[in-house]
Structure 1
Amino acid sequence: MHTSAHEDLLQVQRLNAGYGKIQILHDVDMAMRPGEIVALLGPNGAGKSTLMRAISGLLPWMSGDVRFDGKSLHRASPRDAAKLGLVHVIEGHHVFTQLSVQDNLALAGYDIARAERQQRIQDALAFFPEIAQKRHDRAGALSGGQQQMLVVAQGLVKRPRLLILDEPSAGLSPVLVDRVFEVAARLRDEGTSVLLVEQLVEKSLALADRVYAMAHGEIVLQADTNESNLQGRLEEAYFGQHA
């Protein structure tokens, strides 16, 4: 089960956020510890992407707090969060199609010293041999799935301690979905935490250590993924009392 707060890498505490006067998130609590994969599941419109944007600094909060490695991220920009090690790979993010794969990755590490940046690019490409072979090609010449891999690789250049993947399987073939999930597992093995927002419920539960489920902007379930009858509990959480 979940550990105590002082062992957490990420703590979301009674977080309320939304767009303008429209509140989407309602008193959301969540925590992650180092080196684990947590799946965040829920139907469309549940508030998952809003929560990710609020955590990573893309969306201001109405109230509550997000703490990363003990430090509050209140008023922190996405750049501030990334410098601390919290990196958000956003659904639908596009690459610079006229630039090479290599240059796209270099841009992701623009604020890192050149020698260090080159090493990080090498390390990121090692996760994706499909695009490593095309590092000097224009990103626009990659397939849609390969461009999605490049987006994830851009996040890896920042050497995250926590990587937020928002629907990384969107638009990918089953083979490439498996590749992205393999990368997530390797990152966990190397000590990186991964917060995975996905529609592929069975695959996500097979990969993750723990799961949170959202509905109507609230956390309606949290559990270890090895708990019995988890699928049934998820369906109840989605469609039961919160229907």
Structure 2
Amino acid sequence: MLISAAEPLLFVAALESGYGKIRVLHGIDLTVAPGEVVALLGPNGAGKTTMLRALSGLLPVNAGQVRFGGRDMTNATPREAARAGLVHVIEGHRVFTQISVTDNLLLAGYDLPRGERAARVEEALSFFPEIAEKRHERGGALSGGQQQMLTVAQGLVRRPRLLMLDEPSAGLSPVLVDRVLNVVARLRSQGIAVLLVEQLLEKALAAADRVYALVQGHIVLEAPTSEANLPQRLERAYFGHDSHAAAAG
């Protein structure tokens, strides 16, 4: 089935997931439209990383449904998700330190034809001139911020339809945070959707079109980022002053 104009790129309904017998997510409903930037916010331990892992196939979906691009992707494998264009950039600097920047990116496209891989690597590097200049240096020679850029670039090699970023600002200086989040704006301008997990509230709201707040495994708020008093509503939602029903309305 092809995606219709009315159907979101990502459609999540009543999703439940967790670790073994420990249920972390409880009936999550969430959508992302093509080319939309959606921020998933919440306090530590709310289940944000669990959410991304369930969507990308790293954790089982125990109940509910995930549809992506008009296809049922519930419990798809990570490889199936990535091939469909649902790409997850995992939190932390996950680069191979002993091989070059270019080889790190080539590995991200390991299953693509050689000529296609080379083109995708150049495309990804065009987002990050800082690491393009260091393409022949070992991954371990990059600064922490540059390694984070390389991690995002690895995701871009897959040419995603939806890029899921888990805390891309972690450990970065304010200047580098802006540099990484500027890439989010560029992706949106190219029609690529982004689901952004971020602790820096002000930065996330500036980058996103809509926001979901996740608290103790429940969505407690969904709103456009243009809404007045949104930071105050988020703060109340985090600390339980909004009921689930009122906050989600």
**TM-score in same-fold range (> 0.5):** yes
Contact 1:41–1:211 (8 Å) recurs in 2: yes
1:5 to 1:238, Cα distance in 2 relative to 1, 3 A: farther
- Residue pairs, 1:223-242, within 5 angstroms: 223-241=223-241
Tell me which residue corresponds to 1:6: 6
Q: Does 1:57 align with 2:57?
A: yes
TM-score with structure 2 setting the length: 0.94
1:136 equivalent in alignment to 2:129:
no
Asked whether the 8 Å contact 2:7–2:70 carries over to 1, the reply is: no
What code does the residue aligned with 1:34 have?
P
State how far apart, in whole Å, the 2-side matches of 1:240 and 1:28 are. 18
Shift of 1:241: 4.0
How far has the Cα of 1:5 moved from its partner?
A: 8.8
Matches within 5 A, 1:59-208: 59-208=59-208
Distance in 2 of aligned mates of 1:224 and 1:10: 17
Q: What is the distance in 1 between the residues matched to 2:151 and 2:225? A: 28
Structure 1 ranges of 4+ moved more than 6 A: none
1:237, CA displacement in angstroms? 1.0
CA contact (8 A) 1:215 1:242 kept: no
**Equivalent residues of 2:155, 2:163 under 8 A apart:** yes
AA matched with 1:127: F
Q: How much has 1:74 moved relative to structure 2?
A: 2.3
Q: 2:11 aligns to what SS in structure 1? A: strand
Q: Distance in 1 between matches of 2:124 and 2:107?
A: 13
1:242: how far off? 6.8
Measure, in 2, the Cα distance between the counterparts of 1:70 and 1:217.
26
Query: What amino acid is aligned across from residue 53 of structure 1 in structure 2?
Result: R
TM-score after normalising by structure 1? 0.96
Alpha-carbon distance, 1:85 to partner: 0.3
| Corresponding residue of 1:15 | 15
Q: How many residues align?
A: 240
Distance 1:60 1:242, change over 3 A: farther
Alpha-carbon RMSD across the aligned residues, in angstroms, is 1.4
Give the aligned residue type for 2:113. A
Alignment check: 8 A CA contact 1:85 1:159 kept: yes
Deviations 1:16-61 (A, max 9, x none): 1111111100000000000010001000000100011001100001
- Report the 3-state secondary structure (helix = DSSP H, G, I; strand = E; otherwise coil) of the residue aligned with 1:7: coil
5+ unaligned residues in a row in structure 2: which ranges?
244-249
Q: Alpha-carbon deviations, 1:62-103, whole Å to 9, x = none?
A: 110111011111231111001000000000241110100000
Q: Which amino acid aligns with 1:32?
A: V
Residue identity (%): 68
What CA distance in whole angstroms lies between the structure 2 residues aligned with 1:108 and 1:157? 6
Moved more, 132-141 or 66-75: 66-75
Deviates more, 1:5-14 or 1:73-82: 5-14
Aligned equivalents of 2:94, 2:188: Cα separation in 1: 25
Are residues 147 and 93 of structure 1, via their aligned partners in 2, closer, same or farther at CA, if it must alter by over 3 Å?
closer
Letter in 1 for 2:157: V
Partners of 1:179 and 1:232 in 2: how far apart?
27
In structure 1, what residue type is equivalent to 2:12? V
**Aligned partners of 2:11 and 2:30 also within 8 Å:** yes
Letter matched to residue 222 of structure 1: E
